[in-house]
Structures are given as structure tokens and as C-alpha cells.
Amino acid sequence: MKIPRDLSGEELVRALRRFGYQVTRQTGSHIRVTSRLRSSEHHVTIPAHKHMKVGTLAEILGDVAKYLDLTREELIEQLFT
């Protein structure tokens, strides 16, 4: 499955809630989400833009997939299908 091309930062935040991520703070146009599923915390900063750049989204999804011990393709499939 391909990376979505028209995803907003807020839509990504809502999708990541499925994996236990919660908004911990927002500063300007950036949202910080945190997950505590494992013994350590994982923080991700997401730009709150209407349309995220594909490279930025790919980097965020790769980081989250690594934390969850999934491939990026598996994560995309679980988030967006």
C-alpha cells in the first residue's frame, strides 16, 4: 500500500491513537504525541499542516513502525485500511 498523499497532521494523530499515542502538547503548528506501550516512552512530533509532505510522513511512519516492531508497509496497512 502506498503512503497517503493528502493526509493532514491531525488525521495522522487520530490514526496513531489506535497504537496508544496520545497528544502530550502542541506548540504552534507542531503536535507532540507520546506512546507508553512498551517499557519506554516514544515521542513523535507531527506538523499540524493540512497536507503533510510525503517525505515527512514517510519519516514519521518509519519511526513509529520501528518502535512498534513493524515494517512501514505493515503500519500503513493497519492505519489506513
* Spatial strand order in the sheet of 22-27: 22-27, 30-35, 42-47
**Would you state the pLDDT for residue 38?**
72
Q: Which domains does the chain have, with CATH numbers?
A: 9-80 (3.30.920.30)
In this structure, what are the phi and psi dihedrals at residue 35, rounded to the nearest 5 degrees? Answer: -120, 140
**Amino acid making up residue 74:** E
SS3 16: helix
Q: pLDDT tens string for the chain (81 positions)?
A: 788 888 999 999 999 999 999 999 999 999 999 999 877 899 999 999 999 999 999 999 999 999 999 999 999 999 988
